[in-house]
Structure 1
Amino acid sequence: MVNQVKNLLPTLRASAPKGMNIQPLFDQSFFVQAAVDNVIHEGLIAAFLTGSLILLFLGSWRSTLIVLISIPISILVSLTMLYALGHTLNIMTLGGLSLAIGILVDDATVEIENVHRNLGQGKSLLQAILDGAEQIATPALVATSCICIVFLPVALLDGPARYLFIPFAQAVVFAVATSYWLSRTLVPLLVKTLEKPHQEHNWNKGFLSAFEAFRTRYSALLLWGLAHPRRILIPALAVLMSAGFLAPLVGRDFFPSVDAGQIRMHVKDRPGQRIEDTERTFAQVEDEIRRVIPKQEIELITNNIGVPAEAYNLAFGDSATLGPSDGEILISLKSRKTAEHTRTLRADLQEKFPDLTFYFQPADIVSQILSFGLPAPINVRVAGYNKAENLAIARGLMEDLKQIPGAVDVHMHQDTDAPQLKVEVDRTLLARQNVTQANLADDLLVSLSSNTQVTPNYWVDPTTGIPYFVAVQTPTQAISNFADLLNLPVTGKQLLRNVATLKRGQANTVVNHYNIQPVYDLFVNVQSRDLGGVSGEVKAVIAKWQKKMAPGNTILLRGLVDSMDSSFYRLAWGFAAALMLVFLLLVVNFQSFTDAAIIIAALPGAMAGIVWGLFLTHTTFNVPSLMGAIMTLGVATANSVLIVSFANERMEEGDDAVTAAFQAGRTRLRPVMMTALAMIIGMIPMSLALGQGAEQNAPLGRAVIGGLSVATLFTLFFVPAVFALVRRRKS
């Protein structure tokens, strides 16, 4: 869209009147393009790191090539499906594919690792491929199904979050499902074609020796723990309790803040002020901005004062401007210090200009969409027909909201003290001349606002074909005082002074309604605190003032915070439903409620890791981090399936519960470590948030890294301990 507009600019410049300069000033497509490029780079780095890890573990470039082939094929199939569903390449779909890269190698890796294990038992290559594929066919299917099922909660989202994260989830599910299909078909064929059985690889012997030493130490530690399960269970419970204590401290946001290098500041002067005076005020504010922000960091400052002459243009923007006394100042920065400069300006400008009202609106395209065009994430609405009392309550409520820590830019949208001139008409005099008050009002409207308000007339330029309004009205410069206004002719026979008088008063500059009822809107922004924490205190303040409302009047909480609460609520129920489906799938597969419960036992560890990962990186719970949590739960379940399924095989061969759990942990250590480390290493570029717009996907990577780190420990220690304990008692 932006490229098409840019391509049209030369034509517009050529057809514009002489001397008119048409130049784009603010273009958010640069930010979007940079963010998309950054996600692509993160994905490529993740693929490289994942491939390096697989090569290190397998020691064969042939095996590594077979594993890595599944990545581009799975991504291409996922992109094809997304295109068929009408989705585009954007930050969310590419972010989903970047998240999936670490897991795309899982099925192929487990397949090849199992083939190598069978080769180590002296089998032929063909028999090793057949046996290896058969041994993990069911566990791999169950694991892949679990990863796909846990994304079902995304379907319960509504509002903007639904359109952002459903394509995200679909990208992951399509890619993971394709990866499983390739591991059942293409990977065995490539192993038969490319692999050289019993070929020695010397270059990674050092790593393999170190890993075998690690396996030996892990085996000794696991055996020590299995002998007395409390040695494992007590530390695990301590981790879970610590996470439960930290969870309320993490905080909640709907979406992470994104630094687009732009500041959008709204300035309000006295209501009713002429636009020339407002322009002088804006010039003073701009001078102060240039003093506060270093010159080398400012690319451009643009002022938009007042509303467009044609109301039609208002339908294409989210401006909160009410009239000629307020407007917006757009600041484009060369550096990524938007939050820092915003805090500085917020404090400095209010002190420098105490008579003005300043508040900062969403500047980046993501925040603007998520906020539905509102100037702040929290919108408190005082609604009802009791206008006078509601206005007093709104003002008292506003003062209480200003006292909440982290609440900034608290203001009322409606101006209630705009100067007004009221025309008091003598209806008796009008009636004597057979004139109604409506006739007089129409005459005043045409005289002061032109005939275009009631009977628009047009003149078409014969040269350009452009239509122009033909407006007739009293010249503005001819009305400079009360006397000039009273001398206006009305009804065609009288001057206004002969039939009416003027009185000064106050009025609202704008009147808003919600479900027909008049409302007063209070807006609250957030600084240096999570949105969930501030909204919790806002709700407490609302509850206090709600008791003072007259019957039929109410206080409503709207805005981004409402979308956040709805999304978290729906995701919570979706999580519960998805986990229940995963549990039932495991029950059907293992034909045992006990085995399903043992596999699910790793998930509390994943949740604890997510909490710790977010807490240590100063990241809040938000929808992207919850997407990472969803993926983490799926991968943790898949790894636990490998442990429990192998332990069951050992018990069928005659091992006792402890020996089976020990052998499962020791044998499956390598594929579990490869899967977890591939996912963790693949998420490192995303979690660092180094590129433009990378902040919005960073919580996702941090949740995965923290969750899988702890979940892997639970899979390798806690799950075998629970298996041994439960199966031993059952025996």
Structure 2
Amino acid sequence: VAAAAVILVMLCLLLASRMGSEFIPRLDEGDFALHALRIPGTSLTQAVEMQRTLEAKLGQIPEVKEIFTKLGTAEIATDPMPPSVADCFIMIKPRKDWPNPDMPKSELADKVMAAAKSVPGNNYELLQPIEMRFNELIAGVRSDVAVKVFGDQMEVMEETAGQIEDVLKQVPGAVDVKLEQTTGLPVLTIAINRPMLARYGLNIADVQEVIEIAIGGKEAGQIFEGDRRFAILVRLPEKLRTDLEALKRLPIPLPQKADNDAKLTRIAYQPKSSVATAGTIPLGELAEFTLAPGPNQISRENAKRRVVVTANVRGRDIASFVGEAQKRIAEEVTVQPGYWISWGGQFENLISASQRLKIVVPVALLLILILLFSAFGSVKDALLIFTGVPMALTGGIIALWLRDIPLSISAAVGFIALSGVAVLNGVVMISFIRKLIEDGMGLDAAILSGSLTRLRPVLMTALVASLGFVPMALATGPGAEVQRPLATVVIGGILSSTLLTLLVLPALYRMFNRVVASKKEVTV
């Protein structure tokens, strides 16, 4: 019996090593959050029109109740975003109002993504509202998994990140794989011709000041309204600031020699003239204008530049997905010296929580063993009762496997709670057997009588504890996804612990006490 129990424990540990794992089970919030990304530099007017088109398309889905969108940065900039990025919140009707109430949530998510992708000019990422915010607050990214590329040169980082993106798209379970948009923002570069400035005797600072005033603006004074003051900013109208030909016609004053001092003449802007007035020269003669895509954003983490590749995981657990992705990236992606990769998202939380559990679980088991020793005053009896813990783990692992639930922090909490509950049956049985032996009953008779007498209390203890967790194990309401692994572990563990306690613990107690008795006889 003892050998069979040991074999069962070993097989269950092997099964646990092959089961998937995740940080916490994905909650079904009922609604969707669609993260829409457009070309950097998209104007607010254009972004609003594109968003209205997207909302009209999504509104045609019969399961959708209403849609609202957050675009750009609010007055209180706690979540700054450019106009090219929008958070679209899709409220879903109750299931009873769906055309097909039995349709899985994943199928509805595919339907929403298909409708969104039919609207061109956007990249999408489908999440849930609370999940998106928690991912962003905890891990700094909105997706389940993030691969961060660190280095110095943006071009090298983007090339490496592009290779990683191609690899992640091939990993089963990966959806919404996208590379962080770091380029594409139109940038105007005005390269001043220094030899030409020297020819005309101009100072580069004077030319830059004209450009600064025309495009960026410069404070020329203040206006007061009661006790409030506002700066007066002087610059060209927006129509001229966005017109390259108009900017090329900006007059730059030439230095005038008078008493050997260089003085600048007062000039006025001539919007229709392509020829400079007397004493001025057009800016286009002194500088080269280039409008080309430039950096959209430069993100940093720990003072190092980074580019992020994000992905969501559906249809499999995060740990196995990341394990396969890490293997493929190591084989297919070449990372240059001076650049490195790190993993983030929920996987980062899973690793952090696992490190904490490696400390918490041994401490909890040690406390249980200390309490058992203080109760019985015997290391042997404490260890015998403590065997109920691995026996309980077998039931919890088998229960998770049968329900196709991966290991998670919720399940780990269930195992910790189970460790305390599992020893109760052993305490009841061993304490009664010891009492019978102290009353003068023989070892075998005490074990048999104690097992039969305590059968009903042990079964009642197990049934009460197990039945109390059944509603949690079968719950389908909000938050049930987190409760289900915990309850499944406790129910399965208590049942296996009770069964093995009734069969294995008496055999172990007889084995160890017979060895002790034989040693005493030899000594005598």
1:255 alignment partner AA: I
In 1, the alpha carbon distance for the partners of 2:340 and 2:192 equals 37
Structure 1 residues 267 and 490: alpha-carbon distance in aligned structure 2, compared to 1, 3 A threshold: farther
Deviation at 1:373, TM superposition (A): 4.7
Counterpart-to-counterpart distance in 2, 1:442 and 1:334: 58
Show the 5 A alignment for 1:642-657. 642-657=428-443
Going from structure 1 to structure 2, the CA distance change for 1:370 and 1:629 (only over 3 Å counts) comes to farther
1:435-460 deviations in Å (ceiling 9; x for gaps): 435x6556545544555xx8996755
Structure 1 residues 329 and 725 mapped into 2: Cα distance closer, same or farther (>3 Å)?
same
Cα distance, 1:406 vs structure 2: 0.8
Work out the CA distance in 1 between the residues paired with 2:351 and 2:65.
37
Confirm or deny: 8 A CA contact 2:179 2:310 kept in the other structure: yes
The aligned counterpart of 2:471 is 685
Report the AA paired with residue 379 of structure 2: F
Partner SS, residue 618 of structure 1: coil
For 1:262 and 1:695, how far apart are their aligned partners in 2? 16
CA contact (8 A) 1:384 1:552 kept: yes
Question: 1:398 is matched with which residue?
Answer: 165
Answer yes or no: is 1:617 the counterpart of 2:403. yes
Between 1:417-426 and 1:441-450, the stretch displaced more is 441-450
Counterpart of 2:12 in structure 1 is 243
Give yes or no for contact 1:362–1:376 (8 Å, CA) kept in 2: no
1:537 equivalent in alignment to 2:324: yes
How many residue pairs are counted as aligned between the two chains? 482
* Cα distance in 1 for residues equivalent to 2:299 and 2:506: 63
Structure-2 separation of matches of 1:254 and 1:304: 29
* Counterpart-to-counterpart distance in 2, 1:457 and 1:477: 25
* Equivalent residue number for residue 286 of structure 2: 499
Runs of 4+ aligned residues of structure 1 deviating over 6 Å after TM superposition are 465-469
Residue from 73, 86, 99 that aligns with 1:308: 73
Distance 1:627 1:457 in 2: 63
Distance 2:504 2:306 in 1: 56
Between the aligned partners of 2:220 and 2:469, the Cα distance in structure 1 is: 64
Kindly report which structure 2 residues correspond to 1:162-561, keeping only aligned pairs within 5 A, or say none.
Answer: 230=1, 233=2, 236-237=5-6, 239-291=8-60, 293-294=61-62, 297-305=63-71, 307-308=72-73, 313-314=76-77, 316-317=78-79, 321=81, 323-335=82-94, 339-350=106-117, 352-353=118-119, 356-364=122-130, 367-368=134-135, 371-430=138-197, 435-437=203-205, 440-441=207-208, 443-445=210-212, 447-451=214-218, 460=225, 472-488=234-250, 495-544=282-331, 548-561=334-347
Q: What's the secondary structure of 2:350's corresponding residue?
A: helix
Normalised TM-score (structure 2): 0.82
TM superposition shift of 1:555: 0.9
In 2: Cα distance, 1:706 partner to 1:544 partner? 40
Change (3 A) 1:472 1:377: farther
Specify the alignment match of 1:47 in structure 2.
none
Residue 497 of structure 1 aligns with an amino acid whose one-letter code is: G
AA paired with 2:193? Answer: D
Shift of 1:599: 0.9
Partner Cα distance (1:238, 1:674) in 2: 28
Q: Provide Cα deviations, 1:406-443, integer angstroms capped at 9, x if missing partner.
A: 11111111332333322111234556565435x65565
Return the alpha-carbon distance in structure 2 between the equivalents of residues 456 and 615 of structure 1.
Answer: 74
Report if the CA contact (8 A) 1:390-1:549 is conserved.
no
Q: Which has the higher strand share?
A: 2
Larger Rg: 2
Q: Deviations over 1:661-717 (max 9, x none)?
A: 223322333333333222222222222233223322232222211221212212222
CA shift for structure 1 position 574: 2.4
Please say if residues 222 and 229 of structure 2, whose CA atoms lie closer than 8 Å, have aligned partners that are also in contact.
Answer: no
Is the contact made by 1:263 and 1:338 (CA closer than 8 Å) also made in structure 2? no
- Note the C-alpha offset of 1:272: 2.8
Counterpart contact for 1:379–1:521, Cα < 8 Å: yes
Cα distance in 1 between the residues matched to 2:221 and 2:306: 33
Whether the 8 Å CA contact 2:473–2:483 is kept in 1: the answer is: yes
Spell out the pairing of 1:565-644 with structure 2 (5 A cutoff). 565-644=351-430
Which residue matches 1:91?
none
- Alignment match, 1:63: none
Q: Name the amino acid aligned to 1:716.
A: L
Is the contact made by 1:371 and 1:377 (CA closer than 8 Å) also made in structure 2? no
Query: 1:558-613 CA deviation, whole Å, 9 max, x = no partner?
Result: 22211211211320332123323322443344333321221111111211111122
Aligned-partner Cα distance in 2 for 1:455–1:658: 103
Give how far 1:400 is off: 0.4
Deviations 1:92-151 (A, max 9, x none): xxxxxxxxxxxxxxxxxxxxxxxxxxxxxxxxxxxxxxxxxxxxxxxxxxxxxxxxxxxx
Match of 1:8 in 2: none
CA separation of 1:441 and 1:340: change in aligned 2, threshold 3 A? farther
SS of corresponding position for 1:364:
helix
CA contact (8 A) 1:423 1:500 kept: yes
TM-score (norm 1): 0.60
Structure 2 CA distance for aligned equivalents of residues 522 and 457 of structure 1: 47
- The equivalences for 1:53-64 within 5 A come to none
SS in 2 for 1:608: helix
Query: Could you tell me which amino acid in structure 1 is paired with residue 305 of structure 2?
Result: P
Q: Using the alignment, how far apart are the partners of 2:92 and 2:498 within structure 1?
A: 43
How far apart in 2 are the matches of 1:490 and 1:327? 42
| Contact persistence 1:383–1:390 (CA under 8 A) | yes
Higher helix share: 1
Mapped partners of 2:389, 2:223: distance in 1: 71
- Contact preservation (8 Å) 2:135, 2:346: no
- Would you say the 8 A contact 1:602–1:718 is kept in 2? no
Residues 1:722 and 2:508 aligned together:
yes
What letter matches 1:535 in structure 2? V
Q: Secondary structure at the match of 2:59?
A: helix
Taking structure 1 as reference, are residues 456 and 246 closer, same or farther at Cα in structure 2, changes over 3 Å only?
Answer: farther
**Identical pairs, percent:** 27
Task: Describe how 1:102-117 pairs up with structure 2 within 5 A.
Answer: none
The change in CA–CA distance for 1:660 and 1:376 in structure 2 (over 3 A counts) is: same
CA deviation after TM superposition for structure 1 residue 509, in Å? 0.4
- Which digits, 9 at most, give the CA deviation of each residue in 1:252-306, with x for residues without a partner? 1111111222211112223333333333332332233223x31xx333211233x
Equivalent residue, structure 2, for 1:208: none
Q: What is the deviation of 1:242?
A: 4.7
Do the aligned partners of residues 268 and 594 (structure 1) sit closer, same or farther apart at CA in structure 2, a change above 3 Å counting?
same
Is the contact made by 1:658 and 1:728 (CA closer than 8 Å) also made in structure 2? no
CA contact under 8 A between 1:415 and 1:508: conserved in structure 2?
A: yes
Q: 8 Å contact 2:135–2:144 — kept in the other structure?
A: no
> Which SS does the other structure have where 1:417 is aligned?
strand
SS in 1 for 2:189: strand
- In structure 1, how many angstroms separate the alpha carbons of the residues matched to 2:515 and 2:467? 39
The Cα shift of 1:540 comes to 1.8
Question: Does structure 1 conserve the Cα–Cα contact (< 8 Å) formed by 2:220 and 2:233?
Answer: no
Q: Deviations over 1:351-379 (max 9, x none)?
A: x2465321124411674477445211212
5+ residue gaps, structure 1, are 1-229
